[in-house]
């Protein structure tokens, strides 16, 4: 799949930002959304407002790649995406130190819940780390399946419809890491427990427990087939939902309970109460005279067993009720027997009360799992039920649509009304744009004077007695009398009609008063408080007082209060908006209903939003905040601007050549018109920071590199200290390791084996029994020492050419010792235990000795002996019968730095002048120098090592020796060193500095990207290069990349029938203004947990200080579980519950 940012020849559908539409109309907006939707581009934007169209299938651009792409990117740098909005919200919260929130709105089935989950998952992915932080992230993410199981259900409009409102607040610490959170829930649609509309389901948890419970759980809970429960059959027998696996979701629900810290005992109690609600629904009544009686006493067994209450008490409380009576100053209690209708009402009220309190307990458990005392910034995510129109709209739909009216009012206040008022207050030139303000509809519903619908409803409920017949008709009459002349209210035969911002909705008043009163009778509360189960009693903590005259709070009053509190909370935050659109009612991908989408575009006010955005300013900030962010761009304003803030801002704008038409200065704020202008400022600010960061980074890297080099020099010096004279150039030079570039020569790598890691390589001379030399490539790995030569091919198509061959392979464990002279020569003799020896001459002998002694000790556990003597011998290779004799090498003091070789029979005399004393140590390199001194000394610092090395190679090549045998005639160049590759990957010393890239790039390593993309440490040779003064490059003109989108494709799902009430509603007045019965069991069921698979482990050899948030901090001896090993050196694992990266050369496998 090709993204538009990867190629300029990709089809673009419509425009990303509808502010750029050539014509602003509902038809143009719908046409643009359709083009993009048909090409699988579900996101479009209007400035900062994100418009999302439900694709009704799983899209592919929500993975790790997209998280890396949008993290830290500018809003218009990539195509519109929910990740872009989440990233902007998170970063601005950290930058401005302000609370932010995202308001997700749209009708039922438009994709609000999915958008909220993607925002939470993105924030959890990009924020900080740590054990506590990871726990908070897990709670935030796992709260979704838990609350969805108990609070979501299938409706005719949505297979996973939220039947409650949820506002999630994620609280962050000063470092941007989640420290805690809080969830506020609103108006659970508990009436769904006892009844559902046709083709709808009850809450998910009932189907999950019936299909996913184990056999033991089913026996203990009395779980039978779905058709057995009356509470699950009101909507028909459509228990299955396409794309939903209830059994699998049940396991996720249990896992979520574990994450919340809910004990197994409480989990068992939760499932018992859930099953108890189902069994309550199977209790049936019959008329006996005018009284209700239980049809079968068996129906009481399982409910009373699961609720731990007496079955006779349950029967009594469901069929009778105690009333307080006063007469002549005396009080008495009267036991009144209920009729069948009243008994059914009592049964359903008990079931709804138990389920609602159980849901509140789960929300409290989630909040307890992430409670924190840290006072910090927070990010709020509002996921609330969408605007609904059903065939029969009752009290719940009325409350849901009222909350959506309040959210629409926030959008109008902050994006249309407040923005235009701000321009006027700041003296910004502006022409007002007309729009429909739905405050008039909110007042119709919640106003006190004149009395709104809620006030009239509460007054009627206050005069109700028990279950009064005709009370709903009284409500209808009083509503018509109070609001009959309101232009957004209309009388209707079965109730009343409201002209909402989203269209006309007819509400049936049947059951309005009962559901609004929301009273659980004291008899039923006393029944539950008599339970032998402490968990059940804890859900009913009421203190029942006789003769209480206080009016109980109604459901309408609660939702009105909660909605206003929510609005106040949202108004304190910086808001972000996602406007979700539902393209069809069939729930099928690529199905586009023109009229439905146009209706949503109209009532969401997208056209007015585009007009305001087009004429307005994309960015506004108070003067001081603007200066504090962009002062770094000019040297006059950095680090502090002492003068008038307006003059400082003008100076910055002039410096970046910003046109006057692109910004205005108000009384207290600056207004920037185009996003591109803001991106220019951000880019220039970022470049300034990069320049300073490079200066700091260079000094930091150089300091630690010099310390590392000095340490290597000291280690190398100790190998030959007071035992061998030193050459002048070898004392203070840096170590490279691979001097022939083996990593870039596939032929050599194939010879030694791809799994062999090269730790040292150099061109050497090998001497035979007659002291004739032959050139070899010496390659040292962790297991062996290779001597590579060249042989001439005598047959085949490549006849006459030369190829590399292994002349000798010396296993490290077979090396007995290494012999050297006490003079400054370069000769070494490698003695073998059971084989002939190797007499070599190499330039970088000190470095070679340092590396090979380390590797031999690692391989064998023993030190490699080094012998220093001016008279040495070595065994030569057997050549024919009776071969394999001894050769001697004698060293004597001569003149000059060139070694003179005089072979005589079986003795070679090597004569060389005196070198530096054997007790010479390398000089300590100063790590603090001024830029001026570094520039003045560049030439002298860099010349010596390079020229010395070159002279030694030329010395060996020019030495007068007899012509070497056979292979010496191969056309081979040894006159210069190749470019040095990176240093070998050896066990690093403690506290070795590690240079890291940004978090976004490292995220790829965790998911399997190439870890070699991590920056490597500079090689010693690179560290010894002359320091260069950093010059700030001229700032080129900046251009923004074109925007586009990615295309995705997933399977579709079946569509239900489309009844007439599903059609787009009339706009109304608002539109005109816009233009086998189970056997009881026993025991407490405990869900079986799957054993975790074992992972390979390793032990930390050194302490390691984490350099970034996604790294693990190691202490020597720590045991780490390894998820993935990577050849690049960075491994992925877990330590003490924290997942992250750690260097592989700091550990050993167990």
| DSSP for 632-671, written as a single string | GGSTTTSS---S-HHHHHHHHHHHTT--GGGEEE-SSEEE
The residue behind tokens 């950095």 is 638
Whether the Cβ atoms of residue 208 and residue 202 lie closer than 8 Å to each other = no
Vertex 789: Cα angle to 783 and 793 (nearest 5): 130
- Angstrom distance (rounded) from CA 787 to CA 806: 6
**How many CA atoms lie within 13 Å of 827's alpha carbon, on the beta-carbon side?**
32
- Angstrom distance (rounded) from CA 565 to CA 410: 13
Q: Which residues contact 692 (CB under 8 A, 6 or more apart)?
A: none
- Between strands 1147-1149 and 1138-1143, the pairing is unpaired
- Angstrom distance (rounded) from CA 675 to CA 20: 12
What is Dmax (Cα atoms) for the chain? 141
Phi and psi of 758, rounded to 5°? Answer: -75, 125
Give the pLDDT confidence score for residue 85 in this predicted structure: 92
DSSP assigned state of 1115:
-
Give the pLDDT confidence score for residue 973 in this predicted structure: 34
- The candidate with the shortest Cα–Cα distance to 632, out of 676, 692, 677, is 692
Give the pLDDT confidence score for residue 1026 in this predicted structure: 42
- What is the mean pLDDT, run by run of 10 residues, along the chain of 1150 residues? 40 78 86 92 89 91 88 80 92 87 87 90 83 84 91 87 87 86 86 87 93 91 90 79 88 93 93 94 88 88 92 90 65 79 89 93 92 82 80 86 84 70 73 74 88 89 68 87 89 89 87 81 89 93 66 81 85 88 90 90 82 71 81 82 82 81 79 74 82 86 79 75 80 77 82 82 91 91 90 83 89 92 91 90 87 89 90 82 76 89 91 87 55 40 37 46 38 34 38 35 35 36 40 39 37 48 65 54 49 79 80 89 81 88 87
DSSP codes of every residue in 532-547: S-HHHHHT------TT
| Distance (Å) of CA 796 to CA 793, 800, 923 | 8, 9, 56
- Between strands 815-820 and 663-665, the pairing is unpaired
Give the pLDDT confidence score for residue 609 in this predicted structure: 79
Catalytic positions are: 108-109, 113, 158, 161-162, 386, 388
| Distance (Å) of CA 777 to CA 740, 767, 850, 891, 973 | 8, 13, 18, 25, 12
Give the pLDDT confidence score for residue 1068 in this predicted structure: 67
- The candidate with the shortest Cα–Cα distance to 715, out of 1020, 377, 1014, is 1020
Rg (CA), the chain: 40
C-alpha torsion sign, points 75, 78, 84, 88: negative
> CA 167 from chain center: how many Å?
20
Whether the Cβ atoms of residue 165 and residue 185 lie closer than 8 Å to each other = yes
Other C-beta atoms closer than 10 Å to the C-beta of 312 total: 11
Give the pLDDT confidence score for residue 946 in this predicted structure: 36
Give the pLDDT confidence score for residue 330 in this predicted structure: 62
Long-range interactions of 17-23: CB distance < 8 A, separation 24+: 17/44, 17/45, 17/46, 17/47, 17/76, 17/80, 17/1043, 18/44, 18/45, 18/46, 18/51, 18/606, 18/610, 19/46, 19/47, 19/610, 19/613, 19/614, 21/610
Whether the Cβ atoms of residue 342 and residue 467 lie closer than 8 Å to each other = yes
**Can you tell me whether residue 504 is helix, strand or coil?**
strand
DSSP assigned state of 387:
B
- Angstrom distance (rounded) from CA 1123 to CA 1125: 7
Give the pLDDT confidence score for residue 741 in this predicted structure: 84
Phi and psi of 1119, rounded to 5°? Answer: -105, 120
- Angstrom distance (rounded) from CA 76 to CA 676: 8
Report the number of secondary-structure helices (H) and strands (E) in the chain: 33, 36
What does the block give as tokens for 536? 């059940």
pTM of the predicted model as reported, rounded to 2 decimal places: 0.58
Vertex 839: Cα angle to 835 and 842 (nearest 5): 135
Give the pLDDT confidence score for residue 879 in this predicted structure: 65
Phi and psi of 153, rounded to 5°? Answer: -155, 165
Phi and psi of 1086, rounded to 5°? Answer: -125, 120
C-alpha torsion sign, points 740, 744, 746, 750: positive
């Amino acid at each position: 799949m090709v993204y538009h940012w990867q190629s300029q020849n990709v089809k673009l559908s419509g425009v990303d930002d509808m502010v750029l539409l050539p014509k602003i109309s509902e038809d143009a907006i719908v046409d643009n959304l359709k083009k993009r939707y048909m090409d699988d581009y579900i996101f479009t934007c209007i400035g900062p407002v994100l418009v999302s169209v439900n694709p009704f299938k799983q899209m592919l651009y929500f993975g790790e790649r997209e998280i890396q792409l949008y993290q830290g990117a500018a809003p218009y740098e990539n195509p519109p995406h929910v990740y872009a909005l989440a990233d902007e919200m998170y970063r601005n919260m950290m930058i401005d130190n302000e609370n932010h929130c995202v308001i997700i709105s749209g009708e039922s089935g438009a994709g609000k819940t999915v958008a909220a989950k993607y925002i939470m998952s993105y924030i959890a992915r990009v924020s900080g780390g740590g054990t506590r932080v990871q726990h908070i992230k897990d709670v935030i993410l796992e709260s979704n399946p838990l609350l969805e199981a108990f609070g979501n259900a299938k409706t005719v409009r949505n297979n996973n419809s939220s039947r409650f409102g949820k506002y999630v607040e994620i609280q962050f610490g000063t470092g941007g890491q989640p420290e805690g959170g809080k969830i506020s829930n609103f108006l659970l649609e508990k009436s769904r427990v006892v009844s559902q509309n046709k083709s709808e389901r009850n809450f998910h948890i009932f189907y999950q427990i019936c299909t996913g419970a184990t056999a033991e759980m089913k026996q203990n809970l009395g779980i039978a087939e779905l058709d057995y429960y009356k509470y699950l059959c009101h909507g028909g027998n459509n228990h299955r939902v396409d794309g939903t696996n209830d059994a699998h979701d049940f396991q996720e629900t249990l896992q979520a309970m574990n994450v919340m810290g809910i004990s197994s005992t409480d989990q068992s109690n939760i499932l018992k109460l859930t099953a108890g609600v189902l069994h309550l629904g199977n209790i049936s009544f019959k008329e006996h005279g005018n009284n209700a009686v239980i049809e079968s006493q068996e129906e009481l067994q399982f409910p009373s067993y699961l609720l731990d209450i007496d079955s006779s008490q349950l029967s009594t409380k469901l069929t009778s009720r105690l009333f307080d009576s006063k007469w002549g100053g005396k009080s008495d209690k009267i036991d009144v027997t209920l009729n069948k209708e009243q008994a059914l009402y009592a049964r359903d009220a008990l079931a709804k009360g138990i389920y609602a309190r159980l849901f509140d307990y789960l929300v409290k458990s989630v909040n307890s799992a992430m409670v924190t005392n840290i006072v910090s910034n927070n990010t709020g995510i509002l996921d609330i039920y969408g605007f609904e129109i059903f065939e029969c709209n009752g009290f719940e739909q009325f409350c849901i649509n009222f909350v959506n009216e309040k959210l629409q009012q926030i959008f109008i206040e902050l994006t249309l009304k407040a923005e235009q008022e701000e321009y006027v207050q700041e003296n910004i030139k502006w022409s007002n744009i007309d729009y429909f303000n739905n405050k008039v509809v909110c007042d119709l519903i919640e106003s006190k004077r004149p009395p709104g619908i809620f006030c009239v409803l509460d007054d009627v409920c206050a005069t109700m007695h028990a279950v009064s017949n005709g009370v709903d008709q009284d409500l209808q009459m009083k509503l018509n009398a109070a609001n009959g002349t309101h232009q957004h209210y209309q009388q209707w035969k079965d109730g009343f009609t409201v002209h909402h911002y989203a269209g006309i909705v007819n509400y049936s008043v049947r059951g309005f008063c009962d559901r609004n009163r929301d009273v659980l009778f004291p008899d039923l509360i006393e029944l539950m408080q008599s339970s032998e189960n402490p968990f059940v009693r804890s859900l009913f903590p009421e203190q029942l007082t006789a003769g209480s005259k206080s009016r109980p709070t109604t459901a309408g009053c609660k939702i009105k209060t909660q909605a206003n509190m929510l609005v106040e909370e949202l108004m304190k935050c910086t808001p972000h908006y996602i406007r979700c659109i539902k393209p069809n009612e069939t729930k099928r991908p690529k199905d586009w209903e023109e009229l439905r989408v146009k209706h949503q575009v109209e009532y969401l006010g997208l056209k007015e939003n585009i007009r305001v955005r087009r004429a307005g300013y994309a960015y506004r900030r108070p003067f001081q905040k603007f200066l504090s962010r962009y002062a770094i761009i000019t040297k006059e304003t950095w680090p502090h601007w002492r003068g008038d803030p307006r003059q400082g801002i003008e100076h910055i704008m002039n410096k970046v050549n910003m046109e006057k038409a692109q910004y205005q200065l108000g009384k207290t704020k600056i207004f920037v018109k185009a996003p591109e202008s803001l991106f220019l400022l951000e880019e220039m600010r970022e470049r300034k920071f990069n320049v300073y960061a490079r200066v700091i980074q260079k000094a930091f890297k150089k300091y630690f590199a010099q310390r590392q080099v000095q340490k290597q020099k000291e280690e190398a010096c100790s190998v030959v200290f007071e035992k061998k004279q030193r050459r002048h150039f070898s004392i203070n030079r840096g170590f490279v390791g691979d001097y022939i570039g083996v990593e870039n020569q596939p032929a050599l790598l194939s010879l030694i084996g791809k799994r062999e890691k090269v730790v040292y390589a150099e061109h050497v001379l090998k001497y035979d029994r007659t002291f004739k030399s032959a050139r070899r490539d010496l390659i040292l790995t962790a297991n062996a020492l290779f001597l590579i030569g060249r042989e001439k091919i005598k047959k085949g198509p490549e006849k006459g050419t030369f190829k590399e061959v292994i002349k000798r392979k010396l296993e490290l464990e077979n090396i007995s010792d290494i012999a050297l002279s006490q003079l400054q020569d370069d000769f070494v003799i490698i003695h073998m235990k059971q084989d002939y020896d190797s007499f070599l001459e190499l330039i970088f002998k000190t470095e070679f000795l340092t590396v090979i002694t380390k590797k031999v000790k690692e391989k064998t556990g023993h030190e490699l002996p080094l012998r220093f003597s001016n008279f040495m011998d070595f065994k030569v290779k057997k050549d024919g019968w009776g071969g394999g004799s001894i050769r001697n090498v004698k060293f004597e003091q001569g003149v000059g730095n060139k070694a003179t070789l005089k072979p005589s029979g079986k003795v070679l005399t090597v004569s060389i002048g005196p070198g530096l004393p054997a007790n010479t140590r390398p000089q300590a390199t100063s790590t603090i120098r001024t830029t001026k001194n570094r520039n003045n000394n560049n030439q002298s610092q860099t010349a010596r090592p390079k020229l010395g090395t070159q002279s030694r190679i030329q010395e060996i090549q020019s030495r007068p020796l007899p012509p070497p045998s056979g292979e010496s005639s191969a056309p081979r160049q040894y006159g210069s060193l190749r470019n040095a590759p990176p240093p070998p990957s050896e066990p690093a010393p403690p506290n070795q500095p590690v240079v890291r890239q940004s978090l976004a790039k490292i995220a790829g390593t965790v998911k399997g990207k190439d870890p070699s993309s991590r920056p490597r440490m500079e090689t010693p040779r690179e560290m010894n290069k002359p320091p260069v003064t950093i010059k700030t490059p001229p700032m080129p003109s900046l251009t923004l990349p074109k925007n586009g989108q990615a295309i995705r494709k997933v399977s579709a799902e079946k569509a239900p029938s489309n009844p007439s009430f599903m059609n787009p509603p009339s706009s109304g007045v608002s539109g005109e203004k816009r233009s086998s019965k189970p056997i009881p069991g026993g025991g407490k069921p405990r869900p079986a947990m799957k054993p975790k698979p074992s992972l390979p482990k390793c032990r930390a050899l050194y302490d390691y200080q984490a350099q970034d948030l996604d790294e693990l901090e190691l202490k020597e001896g720590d045991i780490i579980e390894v998820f993935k090993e990577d050849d690049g050196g960075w491994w992925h694992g877990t330590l003490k519950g924290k997942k992250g990266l750690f260097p592989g050369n700091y550990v050993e496998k167990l």
